[in-house]
């Protein structure tokens, strides 16, 4: 029997089956989550479809409801943080911060406009371009930031007038189930439904006839499956997928001055961020000194159970991901890479992999070419910056990238050459609610956040009025 409950039509639903949830800091099961059946999913879809008929009508009421959601999360962040830490692994202050960030997102989204544009208004004709909601949105999220990534979908989908059925990752279902439970006091029944289960449940959502839009965040491989499953029913899709973000460090920077920002751009959340730095291209003049600065930081950072005070990095979230990180590091070692810090899994319980800095690697090594999604950072030497940009672009991924230089103009020019959705200068992973975030190439289709993200949950409607 599950310790946590789904939310369907404003009611808690324990579900008829359950599955275990593991604490990655210990490797042991600590809770059960409902394993949603097809019938239970049908009930959630029906609730969302029913709620849509009235929810779509009153924009002011929706804005107010979003502000109430923000207030609930502000109030509950400290209470809910530990659940996220236990299932995801991240340090407790970061887990609490994720709920607070979600609260900010609700508030910011509540202030966005749903514009009605008048493209013609003369004595014969008035033409308005309006934004209509789509209907029921199926939202599917990964295990690295279940709350904030969920709210990036829930808040704009609801403001636009849609209703939502959301499914978190089977590795991290609990915080999202709790999110659904606490937000019921701010929302009418059926507007936000939360179901949990395995990957099959995700596939059922993408095929479900009630769903008019899928908003998906996860890996490229699953994103392609989602796109294929949505196609026969012409469901709208937004896909936020993986990345292999390059950071390009120009020779004019002082390695000591940038090391700490680069380090956290790569290692925050133990590297499990879609838009983390996943490969660094360093000019050969700065290479050895930046390598040793980063190695020093990696060897002194405190990794451990996120519930312990002072822990800066938690474990990798799950066993398959730990295996993948091990495999990529072993492959790099076999190819002649040098390990400047870390390099192996930690003995004992939990899915810990030492913060690892890898030198003497090049493009063509899996650790450089693929998304490692863990606490491991490869540094690649370059001589000519145009060549570094070309290598950064020689990837199917295009989520984000950064250029590091004291010459902001030059850095900005170079950033414009990189094929990616977000280019940062002298920083990385600074995602804000008022700018679009999304990927080029395999990193996604569509964007989230700001007015651009909101409009992705709408369809255009032209209203053409003959006056005479
Ligand atoms: P994943 O693709 O394995 O799973 C994501 C979600 O999809 C889970 O809820 C899963 O149950 C569900 N799912 C699995 N198979 C499905 C199917 N056939 N149909 C529908 N849903 C299905 O990804 P993950 O391992 O949970 O997350 C890590 C990946 O997510 C990384 O690649 C990371 O870069 C990416 N990510 C991207 C962003 C972004 O905004 N671009 C943000 C965070 C994570």
Distance 125 CA to ligand 1 centre (A): 47
Distance 22 CA to ligand 1 centre (A): 18
Q: Each residue of 373-421: pLDDT tens digit?
A: 999 999 999 999 999 999 999 999 999 999 999 999 999 999 999 999 9
d(CA 166, CA 80): 18
| pLDDT given at position 1 | 53
Distance 121 CA to ligand 1 centre (A): 46
Q: Is the pLDDT of residue 251 over 60?
A: yes
| pLDDT given at position 200 | 98
Residue nearest to atom 9 of ligand 1 (CA): 169
| CA distance readout (Å), 385 to 148, 156, 259, 261 | 35, 39, 19, 21
Distance 368 CA to ligand 1 centre (A): 21
The contacts of residue 353 (CB under 8 Å, 6+ apart) are 270, 315, 316, 322, 325, 326, 329, 342, 344, 345, 346, 374, 375, 376
Q: Residue 230: left (phi > 0), alpha (psi -120 to 50), or beta?
A: alpha
List residues bridging with 380 in a β-sheet.
281, 361
Average pLDDT of every residue of the chain: 98
Q: For residue 274, which of 219, 351, 215 has the smallest C-alpha distance?
A: 219
Q: Each residue of 6-35: pLDDT tens digit?
A: 999 999 999 999 999 999 999 999 999 999
Atom of ligand 1 nearest to the CA of 221: 2
Atom of ligand 1 nearest to the CA of 443: 41
Residue nearest to atom 17 of ligand 1 (CA): 203
Catalytic residues: 240, 274
Please state, as a whole number, how many other Cβ atoms lie within 10 Å of the Cβ of residue 411.
Answer: 22
List residues bridging with 424 in a β-sheet.
402
pLDDT band at 2 (very low <50, low <70, confident <90, very high): low
Average pLDDT on 101-124 reads 97
Q: 3-class SS at 438?
A: strand
Q: Tell me the helices (H) and strands (E) count for the chain, helix number first.
A: 14, 24
Which helix (H) or strand (E) is 141 found in, with range? none
pLDDT band at 468 (very low <50, low <70, confident <90, very high): confident
Q: Each residue of 186-206: pLDDT tens digit?
A: 999 999 999 999 999 999 999
Distance 130 CA to ligand 1 centre (A): 32
In percent, the amount of the chain with pLDDT more than 70 equals 100
Atom of ligand 1 nearest to the CA of 439: 41
Atom of ligand 1 nearest to the CA of 222: 2
Q: Each residue of 261-285: pLDDT tens digit?
A: 999 999 999 999 999 999 999 999 9
Sign of CA dihedral 335, 340, 344, 345: negative
Q: For residue 97, which of 156, 170, 41, 175 has the smallest C-alpha distance?
A: 175
Q: What angle do CA 153, 454, 444 make, to 5 degrees?
A: 65
| pLDDT given at position 359 | 98
Atom of ligand 1 nearest to the CA of 242: 34
Q: Is the pLDDT of residue 68 over 60?
A: yes
Q: Is the pLDDT of residue 433 over 70?
A: yes
Residue 60 backbone dihedrals phi, psi, to 5 degrees: -65, -40
User: Cα 58 vs. chain centroid, distance in angstroms?
Assistant: 30
Contact 315, 281 (CB under 8 A): no
Strands 236-240 and 18-23: unpaired
Atom of ligand 1 nearest to the CA of 437: 40
From 146, 213, 222, mutation site for ligand 1 pocket: most ligand atoms within 8 A of C-beta:
222
Atom of ligand 1 nearest to the CA of 171: 26
| pLDDT given at position 67 | 98
d(CA 143, CA 170): 8
Distance 291 CA to ligand 1 centre (A): 31
Distance 337 CA to ligand 1 centre (A): 30
Q: Is the pLDDT of residue 3 over 90?
A: no
| CA distance readout (Å), 76 to 67, 99, 103, 211 | 14, 8, 10, 30
Q: What angle do CA 70, 451, 187 make, to 5 degrees?
A: 30
d(CA 291, CA 313): 20
Residue nearest to atom 18 of ligand 1 (CA): 203
* Residue 290 buriedness (CB in 10 A; 0-12 / 13-18 / 19+): buried
In percent, the amount of the chain with pLDDT more than 90 equals 99
Distance 217 CA to ligand 1 centre (A): 5
Q: For residue 120, which of 461, 466, 458 has the smallest C-alpha distance?
A: 466
Residue list, ligand 1 pocket, CB within 6 Å: 140-144, 149, 167, 169-170, 199, 202-203, 206, 217-219, 222, 225-226, 240-243, 274, 371, 373, 399, 439, 444
From 219, 323, 444, mutation site for ligand 1 pocket: most ligand atoms within 8 A of C-beta:
219
């Amino acid at each position: 029997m599950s310790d946590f409950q789904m939310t369907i039509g404003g009611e808690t639903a324990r579900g008829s089956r359950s599955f275990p949830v593991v604490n990655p800091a210990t490797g042991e099961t600590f809770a059960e989550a409902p394993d949603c059946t097809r019938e239970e999913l049908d009930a959630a879809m029906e609730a969302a479809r029913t709620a849509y008929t009235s929810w779509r009508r009153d924009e002011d009421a929706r804005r107010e409801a979003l502000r109430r959601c923000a207030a609930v999360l502000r109030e509950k962040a400290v209470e809910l943080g530990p659940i996220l830490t236990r299932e995801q692994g991240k340090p407790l202050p970061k887990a609490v911060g994720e709920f607070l960030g979600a609260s900010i997102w609700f508030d910011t989204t509540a202030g966005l406009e749903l514009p009605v544009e008048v493209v013609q208004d003369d004595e014969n004709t008035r033409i308005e371009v309006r934004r209509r909601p789509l209907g029921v949105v199926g939202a599917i999220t990964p295990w690295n930031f279940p709350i904030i990534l969920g709210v990036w979908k829930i808040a704009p989908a609801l403001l636009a007038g849609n209703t939502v059925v959301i499914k978190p990752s089977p590795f991290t279902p609990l915080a999202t189930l709790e999110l659904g439970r606490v937000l019921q006091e701010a929302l009418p029944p059926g507007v936000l439904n939360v179901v949990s289960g395995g990957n099959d449940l995700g596939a059922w959502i993408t095929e479900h006839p009630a769903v008019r839009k899928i908003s998906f965040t996860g890996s490229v491989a699953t994103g392609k499956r989602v796109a294929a499953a949505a196609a026969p029913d012409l469901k709208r899709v937004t896909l936020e997928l993986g990345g292999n973000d390059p950071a390009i460090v120009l020779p004019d920077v002082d390695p000591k001055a940038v090391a700490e920002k680069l380090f956290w751009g790569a290692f925050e959340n133990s590297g499990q961020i879609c838009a983390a730095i996943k490969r660094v291209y360093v000019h050969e003049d700065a290479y050895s000194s930046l390598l040793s600065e980063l190695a020093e930081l990696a060897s002194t950072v405190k990794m451990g159970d996120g519930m312990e005070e002072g822990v800066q990095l938690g474990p990798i979230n799950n066993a398959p991901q730990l295996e993948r990180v091990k495999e990529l590091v072993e492959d790099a070692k076999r190819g002649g890479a040098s390990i400047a810090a870390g390099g192996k899994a930690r003995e004992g319980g939990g899915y810990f992999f030492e913060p690892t800095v890898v030198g003497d690697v090049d493009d063509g090594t899996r650790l450089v070419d693929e998304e490692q999604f863990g606490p491991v950072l490869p540094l690649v030497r370059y001589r000519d910056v145009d060549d570094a940009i070309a290598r950064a672009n020689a990837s199917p991924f295009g989520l984000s990238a950064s250029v590091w230089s004291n010459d902001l103009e030059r850095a900005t020019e170079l950033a414009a050459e990189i094929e990616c959705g977000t280019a940062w200068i002298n920083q990385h992973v600074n995602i804000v609610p008022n700018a679009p975030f999304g990927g080029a190439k395999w990193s996604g289709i569509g964007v989230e956040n700001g007015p651009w993200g909101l409009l992705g949950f709408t369809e255009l409607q032209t209203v053409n009025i003959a006056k005479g």
